[in-house]
Every structure is written in C-alpha cells, then in structure tokens.
Structure 1
Amino acid sequence: MDKPLVTISYKLANGSQISVEVSTPVKELLEQSDRQIRSQRRQDRRHFDFKVSTDGNSDSPLLPTCEDTANLLERMGRDTRLHKAIGKLTEVQQRRLRLYYFYGLNYSQIARLEGISCRTAIDTIEQAKKRLNRLCRD
C-alpha cells in the first residue's frame, strides 16, 4: 500500500521557491527539524546578540547564519546527484578521487601509493572531475 505524498514548499534565500513531494512522516520530520533550527536561531540570537566591529563596520555578524530546511534539501539533492555520478566513474577514478579529496593525499603521494607516474595520477583525477561535472549537469 503506497502512502500518500504531500507537497511542501520552501522559499530559498535567493527568493526562488522549491517544492518537494514527501510522505507524511517525512513531512513531519522536516517540520520538526525546521522548528528545531528556528529554536536554535532564537537561542543563538539571545546568547550572541552582538556583532564584530571591523573597519568601523558593525554590520558583519560574528556567527554564520544557520542553514534552513530548504537550503538543506537543496544541498541534499546536490549531494545525491554527486554520489550517483561518482558511482558511474571507473573504480580507479573513484579510488584516486577518494585518496585526493577524502584522505588529503597529493598527486605524488597517490602516484607512489599506486605505483604509477605523477602525471597519470593527475590525468586520472582531472578526467574524473570533468566527467563528474558532465554527469552532475545532466
């Protein structure tokens, strides 16, 4: 038995609007998260109600603004597309990207670890990045 979907809409910081269809339990979870974020913002404003004064400009807040639910949903969508795209790369490209981005190894360290030339490591990672770019745009 399929659960009925509910459409919820959020207004993004740039003024555009995003709508998503979710099940009722997911909607309730998102609403609860949104309430928690708003509550945390109120607490932050109470406890950190001051601004950094640099160059005589007191308009820059000390703390970054919290991420709201709409922006979180947008980022989750981008992350999902990225993970799907990474899954379409070759095993070698995936492994070398992981070493470069997640483990922080540089090209020469990857080359030594895998017994390849530094140029091969660079080319593999650059090709993988280009392919990810194309896959994420599609």
Structure 2
Amino acid sequence: MFDNTNPYTIRIEETNGQKRYFVAFIDGQGIFRESEVSYEVYTQFCRFVKCERNLRRSDERHLEQSELTEETLCRRALHKPKPVDEAVNDKIRSEQLERAIMELPEVQRRRFRLYFDYGLTYEQIGKIEGCSKMPVKRSIDRAIEKIREKIKYF
C-alpha cells in the first residue's frame, strides 16, 4: 500500500506460511529505511493510511478546484456587475436626468424631489407648501412631462 502523498510503504511478506509485516520510508537524510513491525503496528499503519487518504479526499471535495478569476467571481456574485457599456449608458442617463431636473422651475423641482427623492405624498407636500394636493400633483405631472421630453432621445 503506497500513496504518492504518503511517505510510508507498508507490505506483507509470507514465507513458509509465516506472515511478516514491514514499514518502509525515506528518512530526513534521503536514506531508504525498512523495518519489520508487529501485526498490531502494521494494522495501525493501515488505519493511518486509510484515514489520511479519506481526509485528503474530503479536503479535495471541499476545497476550491477552479482558479478564482474575476470572471468566476462575477458569475458567483449575488449582484452581478453590469457590462461596461450598460454602466456607461446608465451614467449618461443619470447625468441627463439630473440636468433635466435642474432645468425645471424651482417650485416644480422642489416638489419633484420631495415626491421622488424623499417619498412624500401629494398631501404631505401640500401641507409643507400650504396648498392642497391637486396643485402639487399637477406640478409634479408637468415636471415629469418636461423631463421625459428632455431625455426621450436617449
């Protein structure tokens, strides 16, 4: 029984119906050594070799077998990164949207931001500005139309 990762060789030799057990290894100076051992020591070596082999196989099953590259990490990512062209397009769209919002009249811009950025309702915005919800709704609707018109060609 020899394994290329196990430094020991164990063997049985039978002469005249008598079994003899041997353990062989290469010592620290590179010299081959072989010793006759008792049956009990031989069985312990067998158990050791088998246990060691099973542990190694278990480790191999659980260790990463493939090389970790950016591509494999991206494939496994929970939130996959966008392709470069898509990220660039998103950035351009975002900049155009921000420019379109900044070109709105101050009241529309403020109401638009309160509604979309802060999540306030028409009623809440109306309370802040001292008016009913309908002028707020119309103002936000007009702001949306203006923004759509400015960014529709992208």
Alignment deviations for residues 85-131 of structure 1 (CA, whole Å, 9 cap, x no partner) = 11110001110011001111010000001101110010000000001
The aligned counterpart of 1:91 is 106
User: What is the aligned residue count?
Assistant: 85
Higher relative contact order (Cα pairs below 8 Å, separated by 6+ residues): 1
Pairing 1:61-72 to 2, within 5 Å after superposition: 63-72=78-87
The aligned counterpart of 2:54 is none
The aligned counterpart of 2:115 is 100
Q: Return the alpha-carbon distance in structure 2 between the equivalents of residues 135 and 43 of structure 1.
A: 39
Residue type of the partner of 1:113?
Answer: I
The aligned counterpart of 1:9 is none
CA contact (8 A) 2:96 2:151 kept: yes
Q: Return the alpha-carbon distance in structure 2 between the equivalents of residues 66 and 128 of structure 1.
A: 32
Is the alpha carbon distance of 1:43 and 1:129 closer, same or farther for their aligned partners in structure 2, counting shifts above 3 Å? Answer: same
Name which of 44, 65, 72 aligns with 1:42.
Answer: 72
How many percent identity over aligned positions? Answer: 31
Name which of 116, 120, 129 aligns with 1:114.
Answer: 129
Deviation, structure 1 residue 65: 3.4
The gaps in structure 2 that reach 5 residues or longer are: 1-68
Pairing 1:13-28 to 2, within 5 Å after superposition: none
Structure 1 position 79 matched with structure 2 position 109: no
The gaps in structure 1 that reach 5 residues or longer are: 1-37, 49-62
User: Could you say which structure has the larger radius of gyration?
Assistant: 2
Point out 4+ residue stretches in structure 1 off by more than 4 angstroms.
none
Q: Return the alpha-carbon distance in structure 2 between the equivalents of residues 105 and 42 of structure 1.
A: 42
Residue type of the partner of 1:114?
Answer: E
Q: Return the alpha-carbon distance in structure 1 between the equivalents of residues 116 and 72 of structure 2.
A: 36
Is the alpha carbon distance of 1:108 and 1:122 closer, same or farther for their aligned partners in structure 2, counting shifts above 3 Å? Answer: same
- TM-score, with length taken from structure 2: 0.50
